Structure 1
Amino acid sequence: MAIEFPTYNGVEVAALPPPGYEVDFDNRKQQKWLEHILIFCLMSPLALMALLQRFYTKIILSKGLQVDDFFMLLGWVTAILTQALMLTSISKRLFCSHSFEMPLTDYESYALYSYVTAPIYMMCNGFTKLSLLLFYLQISPQTWFRRAVWVSITVVSLSSLIIVCFMFFGCSPLHKAFRPKTEGRCVNAGIFYMATAASNIVTDVILFVLPIPMVYSLRMPRIQKFGAMMVFGIGSITIGTSVVRLALLPVVLKSPDPSWDGCPADVWTFVEANLFIICGSMPTLRKFFKHLMPRLMGSSGQSSSYRNPASPGPSNSGNMISRLRHKRKSYAQFASDGEENEMQDFSGGDTTKKQRSVTVTTADQSQVPGDNQSDEGAILQTKSFTLQYN
C-alpha cells in the first residue's frame, strides 16, 4: 500500500507550504545556486591544474606514477562527478529549492540525486586521503611512522567503506530512499551527513598531525623545515571546511524542507571536494617549481660529504658511510624520489688566492633499483677536483 501525500492546487507535493506562501511550481525560488556555479568554475580548474602538475612531476621528473597517484585520480573523478550531479540537479531547480514548491515527481528526482551524490562524495573523501597516506609511506622509513600511517589507512578505509555502504543500503527496500511513497524504513540520512562531516574532521586532523614529529626531527635548514611544515599545514585547510559543514548540517536533521535547508552545506561540499585534490597534490609542487625556476627555488636534499685526501683509509671510509647514512635518513624523506645530489657552496675567510685538491664522495642511489628504505642502498662514488678560492 502506497503512502499518501498532500495536494496543493491539485498537485501532489512532498509537503504543504507554510501559511501565506505563494507557491509557483513553474518558477521556483532557489538560494545559493550562483555560489555553486562560481566555486565550480573557479576551483575545479585549479584542482585539475594541481593534478596535472602532480602527474607531470611524477612522470617526467621522478620515477613515474605510483599507487598514491592512482587514488588521487579516483578522487578527482569522484569530485568532478559529485559537482556535476549537484549542478545538474540545481539546473533542474531541484537542489536549493523548496520541497513544497516541487511536484512529488520532482521531489523524487531530487531524492534520487541526493541518494547517488552523497556516497560518491564520501568516496572522493576516502580516495584523496588514502592517496596522501600512501604518499606518507614513501617519505620516511622510520618504523613508528610507517606503523602510524598503516593504522591511519585502516581507519580511513573502514570509516569510508562503512559510511558509503550505509548511504547506499540505508533503506529497505532500497528504492524507498528516492521514492517516498513506497512503504518501508530508512535510516536517518541526516545522521550520515553528520557522520561524514565528523569523520572528515577526525581524518583531516590525523593527516595534519601525523608527519609533524617526523618533519620536526629532520636535520635540515630551518627555512626548508618551515617549507615542509607549510606543505602539510596548507592541507589542514580542509579541517576548517569540514567544521563549517558540520556546523551547518544540524539544521537539516529535523528540517521538513531538506532541499532548501541543506543548500548552504552543499556549497562547502564543492569547496572541500576541490581542496582535497589541490592540497593532496602539493607535496610535488616544490620539485615542479624547481624544474621551472631552478635559480629561484635553489637546492636542497644535499647528501654530499667532503674529506681531505690526506687522511684516507678504511676507518675514514667507514665514517664516511656512517655520515652518508645519517644524512640520507635526514634528507631522504623529501629527496628520495630521484633528486640529484647537490653540492653546497663554501667560502673561506682568507682573501689571498689559494688552490686545494678536494675529493668528493657522494652516494648514488639511482643504480640500486627498488631500494628506497635500506641504508646500505647507497653506492659510493669518488671524484677529485681542484678548488680555487680567494
Structure 2
Amino acid sequence: MAATEISIDDRNLVIEVVLDTQWLFEGFQKTKGSDLVGRIARFFQSNPNWNATGYNQKMAQLAGTSIDNVNLLEMYWGNWGRYSKYSKFANETIPYLGHPTQSQIFVPVYIVLSLLTFAVIVTRMYSRMTIAGFVRSYDYVLLGGFILTLALGMQNAIILSTSTYYRGVWDKTWLDFQVEQDSSLSASILYPLTVVFIKFSLLLFYYNLSVWNPLRWATIATGFCVIANALATIFAWSFQCNPTLPWKHQNYMNPQGACLVDTWKLEVATGSVNIITDVLIWIIPIPMIWRMQLSLRERIISIITLGVGALACIACAIRVRLINMAWYGSSDESNASIICIWTITELYLAQICASIPSIRALVLSKAPQLLGSESADRKENVYDKYNHYDQFPDFASQTSLDKSSPEVSVIAHELFEKRADNRV
C-alpha cells in the first residue's frame, strides 16, 4: 500500500488515534506519536480481554496517567474493542504515510521580502523628510505594521524549523502538538492585527489627501469594516472553544467542552471580507483622481501607481485558497510553510504598494526625467511664494483639487499644515 492509496478519511482517522493516544500517555509527552500508537496496539494484542478486572488500571500504568483519564478515553471511544481496532489500523498504516516535512523555502523568501520591504519603507521615510520635511502619522502606522509582520515571520520561521518541521502528528510529540497549536492561535491573532495597521496607514493617507467629503466618508466606512473584521477574527479564534485552550491535556478530552466556531467558515468569511476591503482601499482614490485637471497620461499613471495594490489582493486570495486546500485536500497540500509564504507575501506586498506613491513623489522631485515629467519642485515651489499660512490656497475648493496630482496634493497639504503649526 502506497501513501497515495490512503484516503483522506483514513489519514484523518490515523491522526485522531495518534492524538488521543498521545494525550493518554501523560507520562510520555516527549515520545513520538508513532511509538506510542505501537505501544498501545501491542498492549491490546497482548491483553485481548478488555473486560477483565483491573484492565483500566493496567492501561493507566502503561501510559503513566490516571484512572480518570483512561475512563475518559474509554467513554469517548465507546469501548476498548473499537479503540483497539483503530489503533491497530493506525499502527499498520503509519509506515505508509511516510515522514512529510515542511518546505525549506520559507526562510529565504522571508529574508528577501523583509529586506526589500525595509528598503522601501526607508525610502518612503526619506521621501517624506526630503519633500515635506517631516514624517506623517500614517507613515508611523505603516512602520508598526512592518514590525508586526517581521515578528509574525520570525515566529513562523522558528516554529516551521522546530515543532512543526514534520507535518505528520505521528512524527511529533504531544509537546510539539501543543506548541504548534499555541503558535497557530497566536498567528491567527497577530495576522488581522497586522492587517489593520497596514490598511489604516493607507486609509489615513487617503483621508488627508483631500477634504472632498465622498473620499473621506468612503475611508471612514472602509476603516469601520476593517476594524470590525479584525475584531471578529481575533475574538472568534481566541474563544472558539470552551475551554479556550482545548489541547491543554485534560481539556483535550473534556466531555463538557465544545468548539462552537467552525474555523473553516471563519477563515473563508473573514478572508473574503479582507479581500473586499483590499479592493475598496485600492479604488477609493480613483474618483478623486478623475476629478483633477490632469492629462489622460497623468491620470492613468496615478491610477496605476495606487492600483498596484491589487497584487496584495491576489496574494490574499491565494492564501485563503491554500488554507481551504490544507483542510480538505491531500497531505501534499497541507504544507504550512507554503501558507506562511503567501501570508508574509500578502502583508509585505501591501506595505510596498502603499509606499509607491511617496516613492514616485521622490522620483518626481529628484529625477523627474525618469518618469518623463517636469521637476516636482516646479509644481511644489508655487506654495513657497506664500509667506503666511493663511495665504495658502483653499484645498477644500474645487479649483485647488483640480489643479494638483495626488502626490502634489498631499505634499501641499503637508506644507500647509506644517506652516500653520509654526505660525506666529
TM-score over 0.5 (shorter chain): yes
Q: Which moved more, 1:292-301 or 1:197-206?
A: 292-301
Distance 1:269 1:38 in 2: 15
Aligned residues: 326
List per-residue Cα deviations over 1:257-295 (Å, max 9, x = no partner): 799454433321121121121112112011222344244
Q: Partner residue of 2:100?
A: 29
Instruction: Say whether 1:47 aligns with 2:117.
Output: yes
Instruction: Say whether 1:80 aligns with 2:150.
Output: yes
Task: Give 1:240 shift.
Answer: 0.9
Q: Is the 8 A contact 1:89 1:95 kept in 2?
A: yes
Q: Which contiguous aligned blocks of 4+ residues in structure 1 show a shift greater than 6 angstroms?
A: 255-259, 321-324
Instruction: Say whether 1:335 aligns with 2:335.
Output: no
Distance 2:122 2:312 in 1: 21
Instruction: Evaluate the alpha carbon distance shift between residue 185 and residue 259 of structure 1 in structure 2; reply closer, same or farther with a 3 A threshold.
Output: farther
**1:299 equivalent among 356, 361, 375:** 375
Instruction: Evaluate the alpha carbon distance shift between residue 244 and residue 338 of structure 1 in structure 2; reply closer, same or farther with a 3 A threshold.
Output: closer
Instruction: Say whether 1:237 aligns with 2:311.
Output: yes
Instruction: Evaluate the alpha carbon distance shift between residue 147 and residue 324 of structure 1 in structure 2; reply closer, same or farther with a 3 A threshold.
Output: closer
Q: Is the 8 A contact 2:293 2:402 kept in 1?
A: yes
Q: Partner residue of 2:189?
A: 119
Q: Partner residue of 1:288?
A: 362
Q: Partner residue of 2:60?
A: none
Instruction: Evaluate the alpha carbon distance shift between residue 52 and residue 104 of structure 1 in structure 2; reply closer, same or farther with a 3 A threshold.
Output: same
Distance 1:8 1:99 in 2: 8
**1:8 equivalent among 34, 51, 64:** 34
Task: Give 1:115 shift.
Answer: 1.0
Instruction: Evaluate the alpha carbon distance shift between residue 324 and residue 78 of structure 1 in structure 2; reply closer, same or farther with a 3 A threshold.
Output: closer
Distance 1:102 1:242 in 2: 30
The letter for the 1-side match of 2:252 is K
Instruction: Evaluate the alpha carbon distance shift between residue 244 and residue 147 of structure 1 in structure 2; reply closer, same or farther with a 3 A threshold.
Output: same
Task: Give 1:87 shift.
Answer: 0.6
The letter for the 1-side match of 2:359 is L
The letter for the 2-side match of 1:74 is G
Distance 1:325 1:203 in 2: 29
List per-residue Cα deviations over 1:27-77 (Å, max 9, x = no partner): x5313232x123212211111111111222223321522221222122111
Q: Partner residue of 1:165?
A: 235
The letter for the 1-side match of 2:182 is L
List per-residue Cα deviations over 1:90-146 (Å, max 9, x = no partner): 110505622232122211111111111121111111110111011001112211111
Instruction: Say whether 1:129 aligns with 2:129.
Output: no
TM-score of the superposition, structure 1-length normalised? 0.73
Where in structure 2 are the equivalents of 1:1-390 lying within 5 Å? Answer: 4-5=20-21, 8-10=34-36, 16=90, 19=93, 21=95, 28-34=99-105, 36-94=106-164, 97-176=167-246, 181=252, 183=254, 184-186=257-259, 187-254=261-328, 260-297=334-371, 298-299=374-375, 302=379, 326-332=398-404, 333-338=406-411, 365=416, 369=420
Structure with greater helix percent: 2
Distance 2:270 2:323 in 1: 10
Instruction: Evaluate the alpha carbon distance shift between residue 33 and residue 198 of structure 1 in structure 2; reply closer, same or farther with a 3 A threshold.
Output: farther
Q: Is the 8 A contact 2:271 2:316 kept in 1?
A: yes
The letter for the 2-side match of 1:75 is G
Distance 2:289 2:150 in 1: 33
Instruction: Evaluate the alpha carbon distance shift between residue 178 and residue 134 of structure 1 in structure 2; reply closer, same or farther with a 3 A threshold.
Output: farther
Instruction: Evaluate the alpha carbon distance shift between residue 335 and residue 129 of structure 1 in structure 2; reply closer, same or farther with a 3 A threshold.
Output: same
Distance 1:326 1:251 in 2: 50
Task: Give 1:22 shift.
Answer: 5.2
Gaps of 5+ in 1: 306-320, 341-363, 372-390
The letter for the 1-side match of 2:327 is L
Distance 1:181 1:125 in 2: 31
Q: Is the 8 A contact 1:17 1:101 kept in 2?
A: no
Could you say what the CA RMSD is over the residues aligned between the two structures, in angstroms? Answer: 3.5
Distance 2:258 2:418 in 1: 62
List per-residue Cα deviations over 1:286-311 (Å, max 9, x = no partner): 12223442443433584899xxxxxx
Gaps of 5+ in 2: 1-18, 23-32, 41-86, 383-392
Task: Give 1:253 shift.
Answer: 3.5
SS at structure 1 position matched to 2:237: helix
The letter for the 2-side match of 1:5 is T
Distance 2:396 2:122 in 1: 34
Q: Is the 8 A contact 1:99 1:260 kept in 2?
A: no
SS at structure 2 position matched to 1:49: helix
Q: Is the 8 A contact 1:79 1:273 kept in 2?
A: yes
TM-score of the superposition, structure 2-length normalised? 0.67
SS at structure 1 position matched to 2:340: helix
Distance 1:20 1:169 in 2: 33
List per-residue Cα deviations over 1:160-206 (Å, max 9, x = no partner): 12211222222222222565735232333333332342122111111
